[in-house]
Amino acid sequence: MSEPVDARERVDAIYAQRFPDEDPGHARWRRDLWKVLVDDFFSHWIPADACVLDYGCGTGEFINAVEARRRIGVDLRSVSRGALDKEVEFSESRGVSMPGVGDGEADVVFCSNLLEHLPDRETVTSLLREFFRVLGPEGRLLLLGPNLRYTREAYWDFFDHILPFTHHTVAEALATADLEVEESIPRFLPYTTVGARQTPLPLVRLYLKLPLAWRVMGAQFFFVARRAPVRG
């Protein structure tokens, strides 16, 4: 029998197929795109003195664009370390754990397009409980991902999409980890930048100011959640 494929090897193989020899211009556009998304939208929840943790940081487009007192990138793949700004701390993940990140240490946890890649619902709950652990009492979880209700069949165009999620599913999943929804946007960003044209950044800025456009073009959910208060 052949040996089972290591999770890191599987991710490396998929990404090599999905992003073959990415054009430097396209990579630069994605970095600039995330800078716009952070500055014009996500920064609303990120105080300047915050400790920000990006779980599944990948090549660092989000965490590199953030301005904060402390920045932490967490990822399964050690190659992510080389993509992060030198000021960003890196934690190589084992499963859903975050080595070196203490209880209540993060003011903001960001997680984008990751839940659908997890193997089962128990792992999703374990990850959300880990978010609960590292968030401070006033901390916020910012959660972004594809919404099956609006992507429809295209949701399954990616081999590593395993679990189906809609905004309703996510709300219930958050509740299993005692995370309380503060804001829910069922349709926010378009589905994916993989194979997409490079949208001019002024149009991206305009899009972010027009929630009515989200209801037409958006196919990703966005949630803001916090630790649920203890009820006596």
Report pLDDT for 14: 42
Which pLDDT value is given to residue 100?
87
- Distance between CA atoms of 131 and 114, rounded to whole angstroms? 13
Q: Record the pTM.
A: 0.88
Residue-range domains of the chain with CATH:
24-227 (3.40.50.150)
pLDDT of residue 25: 72
pLDDT digits (tens, 9 = 90+) for 155-195: 999 888 999 999 999 999 999 999 999 999 999 999 876 65
Ranges of residues in the chain whose predicted pLDDT is under 50: 1-5, 9-10, 12-20
pLDDT at 17: 45
From first CA to last CA, the distance across the chain in angstroms is: 55
The CA distance from 37 to 65, in Å, is: 9
What single string gives the DSSP state of each residue in 56-125? Answer: T-TT-HHHHH---SEEEEEES-GGGGGGS-TTSEEEE-STT--TTPPTT-EEEEEEES-GGGSSSHHHHH
With contact defined as beta carbons under 8 Å apart, do 228 and 180 qualify? Answer: yes
Query: 89: which strand partners?
Result: 72
Give bridge partners of residue 156 from the DSSP assignment.
none
pLDDT of residue 8: 52
